[in-house]
Amino acid sequence: MKPMQHDSGRVQKAPENFLDPQGIQKVIAEAKSGRRGFIRHAFAAAAAGVAAPVAMAQGNPVPPAGGDPYILQLPEHATGLGQGVATEGYGKPSKFESNIQRRQSPGLTQTSQASVSFAPLQSLFGIVTPSGLHFERHHQGWWDIDPSKHRFMINGMVKTPKVFTMDEIMRLPSVSRFHFIECGANTAVEWGNVAVPTVQYTHGMISCSEFTGVPLITLLEIAGADLKNGKFVLAEGGDGSSMTRTIPMSLITSGEVLVAYGQNGEMLRPENGYPLRLVVPGIQGVSWVKYLRRVEVGDMPYAAKDEAVHYMDLMPDGTHRQYTNIQECKSVVTTPSGGQVLLDKGFYNVTGLAWSGKGKIKRVDVSVDGGRNWRTARLETPVLSKALTRFNIDWIWDGRPAILQSRAMDETGYVQPTYKQLRAVRGTRSIYHNNAIQSWLIQENGEVKNVQLS
């Protein structure tokens, strides 16, 4: 869709990543006023009746009368002197990309100090989330902590309680690994079919980075942790949210859990826990404790505030499910997705992201008819364990209504559920751990809407 954004007079509509700020406000306002594409059996039945012949129209761009000035005339940048190198400051994206930002969701109460911002998944390529677009979730605001004053302590069931400075941590053997972090509440409002307009708001509490740090097991060994009886650790953050989380020792002894200071080749961003955060691959975001200041080794789960009051799943029988840490296999089509507009019938590259807290993605299937027929998408390399995986598939839109879905399978054989399958097990009153298949309705006018199929 991107290359079609030019002002030859033919194109009025554009995907959300090219909308101006007013355009974005319009999308958000429509969502708030409840004008959401909400369809059930009616559409599916109608779609089934259409024996869609595949139109081969390739949407050949028609050159404007007199030719396209942007190819016929020499632009200023081909004739003048460009700008000199930056001699100070941090490099920034093009000013033409300034609409691509983290945003507050229209599906949540708007607050003056927002505590969640969503990553613009519709505008990202590949699997890495640029650090400046990484989603944020702060229970008590973020801090830019002076690393020379930051300390990390290990105590509890250890031979020698230890306090580390950043320098002491950074001289130890380090590893770098790509992993996704997903808030357990990602896609939460879809439980209630609030149908927020764009993939940024349905799925934008996920990001994927290359993290660098020291395996926590290395630090525990330095402190002489009792790895036989110490079955859990408590991880504690240094901000005022009293963020404490129980981490099972089995995850730590595998070497996967990192005490990280690096993110995408540089130090962590303050919003993401600078100077130190826990990286717990495959586990919900809340356990990735930021501003990490202490780890205590113990022999029982700690039932901390954020484990005994929040981050539990209310089940259909009225009980609460606790310690549901793993982010199960999930995927979403990011283009075309809600708020975007298809310019014309013809060829589109359908692209999206898949991930699993249990390992690698094995397969992603894509449907364009609401789940009746499926085709297997191409998985782009690299396909890494507990990281985002990019998928692509060719599609020729015939100009009629279509419902796009993606369904991921991980290396354990687990298949992402439909809403019907998920609700049969989980009921309707959950907040967390919604990994159901997402549906995007392509309307005849090319507009893409968030819908749920019952």
Ligand X SMILES: Nc1nc2c(c(=O)[nH]1)N[C@H]1C(S)=C(S)[C@@H](COP(=O)(O)O)O[C@H]1N2
Using CB under 5 A as the binding rule, whether residue 338 contacts Mo ion is answered as no
Using CB under 6 A as the binding rule, whether residue 47 contacts ligand X is answered as no
Least separation, in Å, of the C-beta of 135 and ligand X? 5
Other C-beta atoms lying within 10 Å of the C-beta of residue 71: 9
Helix residue spans in 294-388 (DSSP H): 305-308
Stretch that binds Mo ion, among 9-17, 51-59, 255-263, 284-292 (CB under 5 A): 284-292
Using CB under 6 A as the binding rule, whether residue 241 contacts ligand X is answered as yes
Rounded Cα gap, residues 41 and 428, in angstroms: 19
Rounded Cα gap, residues 202 and 220, in angstroms: 38
Q: Is 71 left (phi over 0), alpha (psi -120 to 50) or beta?
A: alpha
Using CB under 6 A as the binding rule, whether residue 183 contacts ligand X is answered as yes
Stretch that binds ligand X, among 94-102, 190-198, 246-254, 271-279 (CB under 6 A): 271-279
Q: Which does 106 bind (CB under 5 to 8 A by kind): Mo ion, ligand X, none?
A: none
User: By C-alpha distance, which of 239, 263, 297 is closest to 115?
Assistant: 239
Cβ neighbours of residue 147 under 8 Å, at least 6 residues apart?
A: 166, 267, 274, 275
User: By C-alpha distance, which of 308, 180, 189, 186 is closest to 242?
Assistant: 308
Tell me, rounded to whole angstroms, the distance of Cα 127 from its chain centroid.
10
Restricting to residues 102-141, which ones interact with ligand X according to CB under 6 A?
A: 134-139
Rounded Cα gap, residues 39 and 354, in angstroms: 25
Restricting to residues 121-140, which ones interact with Mo ion according to CB under 5 A?
A: 137
Q: Which does 289 bind (CB under 5 to 8 A by kind): ligand X, Mo ion, none?
A: ligand X
Least separation, in Å, of the C-beta of 235 and ligand X? 9
Using CB under 5 A as the binding rule, whether residue 286 contacts Mo ion is answered as yes
Using CB under 6 A as the binding rule, whether residue 195 contacts ligand X is answered as no
Restricting to residues 163-182, which ones interact with ligand X according to CB under 6 A?
A: 181
Least separation, in Å, of the C-beta of 68 and ligand X? 43
**Residue whose structure tokens are 């036989």:** 228
The residue with its CB nearest to Mo ion is: 183
Q: Which residues bind ligand X (CB under 6 A)?
A: 134-139, 181, 183, 237, 239, 241, 243, 271-273, 285-286, 288-291
